[in-house]
Amino acid sequence: MDITSLPSLSDFFEGADQWGEIFALLPVLVLLELILSADNAVALAAIARSSRQPEQERLALNLGIGIAFLLRIVLIVVAQWVLHNSWVQLLAAAYLIWLVVDHFKSRSEVPTDALDGNASGRDQRPFLKTVLLLAFTDLAFSIDSVAAAVAISDQILLICAGAFIGIVALRFTSALFIRWLDLYPRLERAGFLAVAFVALRLIVHVVVPSLNQPDWLTLLVVLMLFAWGMSIRSNDLNQDESHAC
């Protein structure tokens, strides 16, 4: 989800005729984008984290998210075409569902002792594949929000500004989540459950367009999932295991 896809904010920005008024709201925009991109960020973090090499993770994130920004601009240009071709949104939803299924399937195939050892038993994904997965995962997340933004507002500069803020916020939150995934064992699972919810929301939007899906409901579900995901730290589990012994 993107800040420019929220009707109330888009209406407010259309009423702001001074660039100074918009720039004054940038801190609020950044904060909102950090919250709205949490589900996307944790999925990107899990993809980048597969290499288990910090320098390669950073490079993959920079390249993948850089390509993702270019894809978002292209998406903004062809957004009207996307609006008139619902199969594109269904394709994005199908990709997100595949991402979730593939994640949980790969996790179930990893031996328990490998999971306890910080996933050392996972197959390392090729670097180029990681970059492309990062770029297309962000694109799949962006299709619904960019199409909604263009349908609500014709302020292309505003939409591009929202996309740029979203990409910057996504880069920092993804890096943060890479560290948090080791601290909170449930967080990765919670993030992919949020991805599944976003995919389901997108399918419902295409199949039943008349059904109102309030943005606050999506925010509430995502926040609840992440609250559950961060409810247990790794050191808490280690302490429980030591007490049990």
Closest CA to 47 of 36, 59, 27, 61: 61
Q: In this model, does residue 182 exceed pLDDT 80?
A: yes
State what percent of residues in the chain have pLDDT above 70: 69
Q: In this model, does residue 8 exceed pLDDT 70?
A: no
User: CB count, 10 Å around CB of 150?
Assistant: 22
Backbone phi, psi, residue 82, to 5°: -60, -40
The predicted model scores a pTM of 0.75
Q: What is the pLDDT of residues 11-60, one digit of tens each?
A: 545 555 455 555 555 565 556 666 667 778 888 888 888 766 778 888 98
Q: In this model, does residue 121 exceed pLDDT 50?
A: no
Torsion (CA) 74, 75, 78, 84 in degrees, nearest 10: 160
Rounded CA-CA distance 202/196 in Å is 10
**Where residue 106 falls among pLDDT bands split at 50, 70, 90?**
confident
Domain ranges within the chain, ordered by starting residue: 3-244
Q: What is the pLDDT of residues 69-86, one digit of tens each?
A: 898 888 888 877 877 888
Backbone phi, psi, residue 75, to 5°: -65, -40
